[in-house]
Structure 1
Amino acid sequence: MPSNETRTRNHEVAAPKLLTVVGRTYFPIALMARLPYAMVVIGVLTLVVAGRGSLSLGGINSAMVGLGTAIFGSFIGAAADRWGQRPVLLIAGLANSAALIFMAWVVFSPLPDAVVLIAAFAIGATAPQAAPMSRSRLVEIIMSKLAGPGQQKTLSSTMAYESAADEFVFVFGPFIVGLLATTFHPVAPIIGAVVMTLIFVSAFALHPTGRAHVNASSGPRAQAPAKELFTFAVLVVVLGTFGIGLVFGSTLTALTSLMNDLGHPEEAGIFYGIMGIGSAILAIAVALFSPRYALWARWLSFAPVMLVGAFIMSTSDSMITVVIALLLMGCAVGPTLVTLFSLAAERSPLGRSATVMSMAGSAIIVGQSVASAVNGILAEEAGTSAAMAVPMAASALVLVAGLLNLLVGKRARKRDLVHS
């Protein structure tokens, strides 16, 4: 009779790998599908400043993109939970492409600024939410099809990759916007976002994994009451991702102001990309952490590092110090994002995974939009030194959210201990 150890080894051998289940095309398509989402905030800012000649109006339009996402992003996730990701993504992708095309036209039209603001709001409201839906899709596949002793390790590695992918697009999205706008025309990033949305969001929607959550029966899926989406345990995670969005937006605008003072504003995106180096590496390295290293403890370990990096940047008197500060911040941002989305996966109510992931993902965009608008105005009115201090306040909010997370019930934190 085979021993328990032999049966375990046989089960591990027989258990399918995630890549086998989702296919080799899934991850490249999912990565490209989320890139337009990361480009629109800065793309709209760049376009409006070029077309209307007003930095403050550009910042307000970026904020309107975030407002649209804040109001409708979670509804798009809820619709995916209710009717499936495929139809929701296809409809959102088409609507978002139409809104982007309208924005590209209206900015250079004689129509008033109010119409431009409406277009920006529509862009945010129709954003396809590819990143949170990818997380939701993969979590459901792992929990339903990859049962076994390696399930938690696979989940941890997947959340690490997904956060690294987010780091890539949120850091290099603005870089691509700057490159396209400088090389071609300020409208080029918007047209590029339209093309990528139509191709890659559609491909992501039509991928075979888009049917993953639909079970054999055609009846409605079991779902927890909507009120469970607004528990303290869920909202504190959303607050954390909002803080990360503030870090992204405030850091980019602070660097833009700094490089403008030095006479090289086009280089801001390059220096911003430095933060993504350590962030992506450390985000992937989270998969190597011991399951005994609890999620709440990880949050409280890396948030102070982010705050220290932001403090160094705010007091920097040389570009070398700024680079060191950005690397330090990046090394903290990556693991913190992995932790936050792992907590979001753990605390998602039954049948509400896409909704919670959309809430967390939308909070990043909202934070980025708000910080881009507010810090841009602050840089104009109070100077670069004031703008350089805002990432420190944003990092402090992430730390405060981590401390508030300690108020989550002891039972929930014990679950977090083994769910990484």
Structure 2
Amino acid sequence: MTHAPASPKSASQSPSLLRIAGLPYFLIAFIARLPFAMMVVGVLTVVVSARGSLSLGGLTSAAVGLGTACFGPLLGAAADRFGQRAVLVILALANGAMLLLFTFVVYGTAADGFVLLAAVGIGATAPQVAPLSRSRLVTIIRDRMPEARRDRTVSGTMAYESAADETVFVFGPFLVGILASAISPWAPLVGAAVLTVVFVGAFALHPSGRHVSQDRDADGRAPSAVSELFRPRLLIVVVGILGVGMFFGAMLTSLTSFMADRGAPEQAGLLYGVMGVGSALLALGVAWLPPAFSLRARWLVFSGILFVGTLLLSVVDSPGAMVLALAIMGIGIGPTLVTQYSFGAARSPLGRSATVMTMLGSGVVVGQSIGAAVTGEIAESIGTSAALLLPMVAAFITFAAGAANWVLSGERRRLSVTV
């Protein structure tokens, strides 16, 4: 079925995305992200407490990322094929069970190998609400909004979603710290299990999840071949977002080591929040950038600001100087993440939007796990100065991917929203 193009008047009078999806949707989707943000840090916390090994804790966090890397895109493909509702209901129950099982195993007498295996299970069953929410909202925009408003609405939606991710990835570790301190190190994982079952289940059953399958579009065309997911123009976005995830993990871990050297490791989260708050605000502001400031230029500019901010880490010698460096990095990281997700939405092959978004979401988590594990090992064995080099490496990977994207997208540059 075809639709006539919307007139300017009808486009201006059409309902907003907030009205179409409903405020409860955004509240549920926001809270449902929390368990995902709590997992890596929660696993690290409980392993260090129960087993007394920072090295094992880092490996276990990396194992969570490994499970996500291996199974996340497959779960996205299943959502494309069978619809989000059925897949998410199963994952909510399975992941809640795996979180409880992991807690039981880590406090038991099982060998470290079983702890790592259970951690892989947590990552493998993780319901990636954030990427699936992006896919769901983009589908709503394309199906129910006039063409004249789609591009700007998609850009604004990616900005909101990235700001929500930023907020959750700052608040998640903070919540882990509160629960672990006030109750016990096992409390964050039990809390994450409860949140997963209740709010991921609610997200799954929300009316917006009724789409059975996105395998065919309105004209009945079959979905794109799987090989379309491996195009260089899409893979470079995955590499870039992997760099962002590595930056998150490396920055938080090296910052913790930096503050521990000054006898106040518990203040690392407060300093990290300076970057997170600024990043979230700037991410929201991306929707108001002029169309002439193309996506490929935004990636290069804002990742460049991020990289410059990380270079300051080589000279910081006080919490005040660290706050300044974090504030500069916050200017770059949020808009970079928004831009990468916008590229993912624009370059998703037909019928593969959930797959692409879970690929990108997996990239963030895998990168975070790798960054935290490697940085933790370096901080423990070599020292904080060496650990502070890792955020620079991650930022450079993100910037280099942006430069490669500039070249790859230059040949096909049309509208700013597609390049």
8 A Cα contact 1:93 1:202, kept in partner = yes
Residues 1:354 and 2:354 are matched in the alignment:
yes
Counterpart for residue 78 of structure 1: 77
Q: How does 1:25-36 map to 2 (within 5 A)?
A: 25-36=24-35
In the TM superposition, what is the alpha-carbon distance from 1:12 to its structure 2 partner? Answer: 2.7
Counterpart for residue 95 of structure 2: 96
The superposition leaves residues 326-384 of structure 1 with CA deviations (integer Å, 9 ceiling, x where unpaired) of: 11111110000000000000000000000000000100000000111110000001101
SS of equivalent to 1:152:
helix
SS of equivalent to 1:149:
helix
8 A Cα contact 1:283 1:334, kept in partner = yes
In the TM superposition, what is the alpha-carbon distance from 1:409 to its structure 2 partner? Answer: 4.5
8 A Cα contact 2:134 2:357, kept in partner = yes
The code of the aligned residue for 2:150 comes to: Q
8 A Cα contact 1:38 1:174, kept in partner = yes
In the TM superposition, what is the alpha-carbon distance from 1:16 to its structure 2 partner? Answer: 2.0
Counterpart for residue 299 of structure 2: 299
In the TM superposition, what is the alpha-carbon distance from 1:264 to its structure 2 partner? Answer: 1.5
SS of equivalent to 2:15:
coil
Counterpart for residue 251 of structure 2: 251
| TM-score calculated relative to the size of structure 1 | 0.95
Measure the CA separation in 1 of the matches of 2:349 and 2:12: 32
SS of equivalent to 1:107:
helix
Counterpart for residue 170 of structure 1: 169
How has the CA–CA distance of structure 1 residues 144 and 387 changed in structure 2, closer, same or farther, with 3 Å as cutoff?
A: same
The code of the aligned residue for 2:61 comes to: S
Measure the CA separation in 2 of the matches of 1:100 and 1:314: 38
The superposition leaves residues 143-168 of structure 1 with CA deviations (integer Å, 9 ceiling, x where unpaired) of: 11002322222111111000100111
In the TM superposition, what is the alpha-carbon distance from 1:21 to its structure 2 partner? Answer: 1.1
Measure the CA separation in 2 of the matches of 1:266 and 1:412: 49
Q: How does 1:178-217 map to 2 (within 5 A)?
A: 178-212=177-211, 214=213
8 A Cα contact 1:292 1:418, kept in partner = no
The superposition leaves residues 7-29 of structure 1 with CA deviations (integer Å, 9 ceiling, x where unpaired) of: 94531343121112111201111
Q: How does 1:266-281 map to 2 (within 5 A)?
A: 266-281=266-281
Measure the CA separation in 2 of the matches of 1:189 and 1:413: 46
Counterpart for residue 240 of structure 1: 240
Counterpart for residue 314 of structure 1: 314
8 A Cα contact 1:175 1:273, kept in partner = no
Of residues 142-151 and 203-212 in structure 1, the stretch that sits farther from structure 2 once superposed is: 142-151
Of residues 9-18 and 91-100 in structure 1, the stretch that sits farther from structure 2 once superposed is: 9-18
The gaps in structure 1 that reach 5 residues or longer are 1-6
Measure the CA separation in 1 of the matches of 2:45 and 2:239: 27
8 A Cα contact 2:215 2:222, kept in partner = no
Of residues 212-221 and 66-75 in structure 1, the stretch that sits farther from structure 2 once superposed is: 212-221
Measure the CA separation in 2 of the matches of 1:15 and 1:303: 35
The code of the aligned residue for 1:405 comes to: N
Counterpart for residue 120 of structure 1: 119
| Pairs aligned (count) | 413
Measure the CA separation in 2 of the matches of 1:231 and 1:169: 31
The superposition leaves residues 192-226 of structure 1 with CA deviations (integer Å, 9 ceiling, x where unpaired) of: 10011011100000000001465899999831000
In the TM superposition, what is the alpha-carbon distance from 1:290 to its structure 2 partner? Answer: 1.0
Q: Percent identity?
A: 53
How has the CA–CA distance of structure 1 residues 314 and 171 changed in structure 2, closer, same or farther, with 3 Å as cutoff?
A: farther
Measure the CA separation in 1 of the matches of 2:261 and 2:56: 21
Measure the CA separation in 1 of the matches of 2:154 and 2:239: 23
Of residues 206-215 and 144-153 in structure 1, the stretch that sits farther from structure 2 once superposed is: 206-215
Measure the CA separation in 2 of the matches of 1:232 and 1:9: 36
How has the CA–CA distance of structure 1 residues 138 and 383 changed in structure 2, closer, same or farther, with 3 Å as cutoff?
A: same
SS of equivalent to 2:412:
helix
In the TM superposition, what is the alpha-carbon distance from 1:412 to its structure 2 partner? Answer: 3.5
The code of the aligned residue for 2:312 comes to: I
8 A Cα contact 1:296 1:413, kept in partner = no
8 A Cα contact 2:84 2:211, kept in partner = no
8 A Cα contact 2:80 2:214, kept in partner = no
8 A Cα contact 2:102 2:115, kept in partner = yes
Measure the CA separation in 2 of the matches of 1:418 and 1:325: 31
In the TM superposition, what is the alpha-carbon distance from 1:230 to its structure 2 partner? Answer: 0.8
Measure the CA separation in 2 of the matches of 1:303 and 1:216: 34
The superposition leaves residues 229-274 of structure 1 with CA deviations (integer Å, 9 ceiling, x where unpaired) of: 0110111000111000011000010011111111111221121111
Q: How does 1:46-57 map to 2 (within 5 A)?
A: 46-57=45-56
The code of the aligned residue for 2:241 comes to: T
8 A Cα contact 2:216 2:223, kept in partner = no
Residues 1:372 and 2:401 are matched in the alignment:
no
Counterpart for residue 327 of structure 1: 327
8 A Cα contact 2:80 2:213, kept in partner = no
The superposition leaves residues 165-197 of structure 1 with CA deviations (integer Å, 9 ceiling, x where unpaired) of: 011111221111112111211011101100110
The code of the aligned residue for 2:28 comes to: I
Measure the CA separation in 1 of the matches of 2:108 and 2:413: 54
| TM-score calculated relative to the size of structure 2 | 0.95
Measure the CA separation in 2 of the matches of 1:112 and 1:418: 51
How has the CA–CA distance of structure 1 residues 300 and 13 changed in structure 2, closer, same or farther, with 3 Å as cutoff?
A: closer
